[in-house]
Amino acid sequence: MAALTKRSKVVSNKKMSFWEKIYLPAILGGMWITLGHLFTRKTTVRYPEVTREFSEIYRGKHVLKRDDEGRERCTACGLCAVACPAEAITMIAAERKPGEENLYREEKYASTYEINMLRCIFCGLCEEACPKEAIFLTKEIVKAGYERDTFVYGKDVLLEPLDPLKRIDVSKRQTPEVLEFKKDKNQRHNVQ
Amino acid sequence: MFKITIDNILIEVEEGTTILQAARMIGGKVVPPAMCYYTGLKGSGGKCRSCLVKVAKGSAKDPRPMPKLVASCSTPVQDGMVVENTTSAEVQEARKGVVEFLLINHPLDCPVCDQAGECDLQDLSYGFGMEETNTREPRREYPVVDIGPLIKLHMNRCIHCYRCVLAAEQLTKKRAHGMLYRGDTMEISTFIQTAIDNDFSGNMIDVCPVGALTDKTFRFKSRVWFLNPMNAHRECSKCSGKVTAWMFGNEIYRITGRKDQFGEVEEFICNECRFEKKDINDWVIDGPRKIKRQSVISSNHYEELKKGSIIHPIEGTTEPQE
C-alpha cells in the first residue's frame, strides 16, 4: 500500500540492544536538556515586581480626563456609549448649577458614568468617538477580582485625580494632527 | 397638470405646487433640504436658502434658464420646467455656502444639545459643511432663557427660521413671543419674559429645526439614540392624541408629535399630552416607529432579520440544507 503522506514512518519491531534496555543513557540525556534550560533566558517575568515594557498606545483601563484647570471634560453626550460595540458604557447626565463652573467644563456633565469592565473589549472606539477629549485608554491594566460587581467602574475609579503629580499624560495617544489642532486657540474647544 | 423634470425624473403635478413639494412627491435624494419651510405653517419658507435649486429651463413656453438659483420652497412649478438639484455642481456649491452662513453663529455644541441626533442642521452640515471655519470673529452669545415653565430657549443655536413664531401665531389665539432686533443680532423673545402658556405652545419645540427651543421636562434626561420611539395614542379633548412616545424600557422620557420623513409633524399635539402625560398607563402603545437605517437613532435597535429566498439556483448546485 502506498504511503498516505511523505512523513509516514515504517515502524520497526527490532529488538533493543543492551544499552537501550537499561534506559540510563536516555534518562541522562533528558536530564541534560533540563539542566541546559536552567541557564537559558526565562520567558516569564516576576509580575508585579517586574513589569514588561508596554506600548505607548497600550489599551488598558479608561481614564476620564480633566482639563488644565481641573474641570471634568465629559459632557455626557453619549457618543462613546453609542460607539461601544460591547455596550459597556452607561451614563446619566446632569445640568451644571451656578457656582460649579470650576468643577465641570460645560453646562452639562455626567453625574454617573459607568463602564462594565467585564463587557469592555478594550477596542478604543470610545476614545475615538469622544468629541471632548474626555475619555482615553491608559497603560494601567484592569485588575482581576473575585466579585463580578466590582468590575463596574464608576466615576470614583475612572476620573483623573486632581493632584497635578498624579495627572495622566495621554499626549502619546493623540495623533500629530490632533496635537497640531490643539495649538489653535481660536477654536473654542482648545480654550482652557 | 404640469409636467416637470427634477434631476432627470419626470413627474406630473398640479398647478400651484412648489418645486420642493414636487421633489418630495418623487422622494429620495432628489428632495432639497429645507430648514425654514414647513408644510403645516402658512408663510414659512424662503428664509434659510438651503433648498436652492437650479432651473435649467423656465417652462415649455419660455425655455430660458432662470438667471439665479431659486428657493425651491417658494417657487411654483411651470409646465415643462427642468430643475437640477443633485445633478448640478453649482447647487451643491451654493448649498455649501448656505451651510457656512447658517453655521456662522451656531455654537456647534452638539454634545450638550438635546436636539443632537434629530437635528436638521446637523444633517445638513454633515452633508455640506466644511471641516474648518473661515471666520475669526467671536460668535454671538446670549444667556439661556426660560420661555415659560416648559420650554428652554438657547438663542445661540437659533438660525432665524421663523417657524416657531409662525407656529405660535397660527396654532394659538395670541402669540406671546416674536423676533426682536434685526440681522445678526436678531433674537427670539417674549416681551419681558412673558410666560407662554397657550395649550399648543409646545409645538414650537417640534417645529424648531435646531436645538434652540427644547423641552424642559426632557432637558439632559437622555440622548435620542438611547430611546425607542413608539407610536402611542390616547383620548384627548384638545388634540388628536396621536404622538410619538420616546421610551426607555417601560418609562416614557418624552412625548413629541409624529414626524414624517421630512421632519414635519403629522398633527400638532397639545401641551397636556406633551408635558404632563409621562406615565405609561396614560397611553396606548401601538408599536415601534420606522426609523431610517442611516439615522443614529436606529443604532443598537435590533430588528429581526428576514432570510432571503433563493430564486434562481445556479445549475449544478443544490440548495443549502438546513
For chain A, the straight-line distance linking the first and the last C-alpha, in angstroms and rounded, comes to 82
Q: Where are the alpha helices (DSSP H) in chain B?
A: 19-26, 89-102, 120-128, 163-171, 203-207, 271
Q: Is the pLDDT of residue A188 over 50?
A: yes
B112 and A108 in contact (C-beta within 8 Å)?
A: yes
pLDDT of residue B69: 95
Return d(Cα A153, Cα A92) in angstroms, integer: 14
Nearest Cα residue to B232 out of B253, B211, B216: B253
Instruction: Please report the ipTM that was assigned to this predicted complex.
Output: 0.79
pLDDT of residue A8: 80
Query: Do residue B155 and residue B234 come from a single domain?
Result: no
Query: Do residue B198 and residue B124 come from a single domain?
Result: yes
Q: What is the mean pLDDT of residues A6-33?
A: 89
Q: Structural domain of residue B117, as residue ranges?
A: 107-132+139-218
pLDDT tens for chain B, residues 1 to 322: 899 999 999 999 999 999 999 999 998 889 999 999 999 888 898 999 999 999 999 999 999 999 999 999 999 999 999 999 999 999 999 999 999 999 999 988 899 999 999 999 999 999 898 887 888 888 888 888 888 788 898 999 999 988 988 888 888 776 767 777 777 777 777 654 555 667 888 888 999 999 999 999 999 999 999 999 999 999 999 888 899 999 998 999 999 999 988 889 999 999 899 999 999 999 999 988 888 877 888 876 766 666 666 566 555 555 555 4
- The CA distance from B223 to the nearest CA of chain A, in Å, is 7
Q: Which residue type does A113 have?
A: Y
- Closest chain A residue to B133, measured at CA: A187
Query: Do residue B95 and residue B113 come from a single domain?
Result: no
Query: Do residue B112 and residue B207 come from a single domain?
Result: yes
Q: Looking at A108-122, A171-185, B82-96, which range is the least confident one?
A: A171-185
**What confidence tier does A28 reach under pLDDT thresholds 50, 70, 90?**
very high
Average pLDDT of chain A is 90
Name chain B contacts of A94, Cβ cutoff 8 Å. Answer: 220
| B317: in domain | no
Query: Do residue B89 and residue B148 come from a single domain?
Result: no
| B236: in domain | yes
**Any idea what the CATH number is for the domain that residue B44 is in?**
3.10.20.740
Please, what sign has the CA dihedral across residues B224, B228, B230, B236?
Answer: negative
Contact B116 A77 (CB under 8 A): yes
Task: Tell me which residue in A75, A95, A188 faces B111 most closely, judged by beta carbons.
Answer: A75
Contact B300 A82 (CB under 8 A): yes
| B14: in domain | yes
Contact B116 A75 (CB under 8 A): no
Q: Choosing among A82, A113, A126, which should be mutated to test the B contact, i.e. which has the most B CBs within 10 A? A: A82
pLDDT of residue A1: 65
Calculate ∠ Cα B290-B296-B297, nearest 5°.
45
Please, what sign has the CA dihedral across residues B5, B7, B11, B15?
Answer: negative
Q: Please report the residues numbered 98 through 137 in chain A whose beta carbons come closer than 8 angstroms to any beta carbon of chain B.
A: 106-108, 131-132
Q: Which residues make Cβ contacts (< 8 Å) with residue B255, sequence separation at least 6? A: B232, B243, B244, B245, B246, B269, B273, B274, B275, B277, B278
Query: Do residue B68 and residue B11 come from a single domain?
Result: yes
Contact B220 A82 (CB under 8 A): no
pLDDT tens digits along A57-104: 999 999 999 998 899 999 999 999 999 999 999 999 999 999 999 999
Residue at grid coordinates 413629541: B256
**What letter does residue B62 receive in the DSSP assignment?**
-
- From the CB of residue A47, how many other CB atoms can be counted at a distance below 10 Å? 9
Secondary element (H or E) of residue A64: strand A62-64
Name chain B contacts of A132, Cβ cutoff 8 Å. Answer: 111
Q: Please report the residues numbered 64 through 103 in chain B whose beta carbons come closer than 8 angstroms to any beta carbon of chain A.
A: none
Query: Do residue B248 and residue B191 come from a single domain?
Result: no
Query: Do residue B92 and residue B122 come from a single domain?
Result: no
Contact B226 A81 (CB under 8 A): yes
Report the predicted TM-score, pTM, of the whole model to 2 decimal places.
Answer: 0.81
B199 and B271 in contact (C-beta within 8 Å)?
A: yes
Query: Do residue B91 and residue B124 come from a single domain?
Result: no
Contact B110 A106 (CB under 8 A): no
- The CA distance from A11 to the nearest CA of chain B, in Å, is 44
Q: Is A24 on the interface with B (CB under 8 A)?
A: no
Query: Do residue B87 and residue B118 come from a single domain?
Result: no
Query: Do residue B204 and residue B274 come from a single domain?
Result: no
Q: Which residues make Cβ contacts (< 8 Å) with residue B148, sequence separation at least 6? A: B190, B195, B196, B197, B201
| B181: in domain | yes
**Any idea what the CATH number is for the domain that residue B171 is in?**
3.30.70.20
| B297: in domain | no
| B310: in domain | no
Return d(Cα B125, Cα B145) in angstroms, integer: 26
Return d(Cα B120, Cα B132) in angstroms, integer: 20
pLDDT of residue B320: 52
Domains of chain A in sequence order: 62-175 (3.30.70.3270)
* Number of folded domains that form chain B: 3
Instruction: Measure Cα distances from A20 to A14, A24, A27, B60, B120 in Å.
Output: 12, 8, 11, 107, 86
Query: Do residue B24 and residue B89 come from a single domain?
Result: yes
pLDDT of residue B322: 46
pLDDT of residue B192: 46
pLDDT tens digits along A123-153: 999 999 999 999 999 999 899 999 999 999 9
| B314: in domain | no
pLDDT of residue B307: 64
- Helix, strand or coil, per DSSP, at residue B228: strand
- The CA distance from B42 to the nearest CA of chain A, in Å, is 36
| B271: in domain | yes
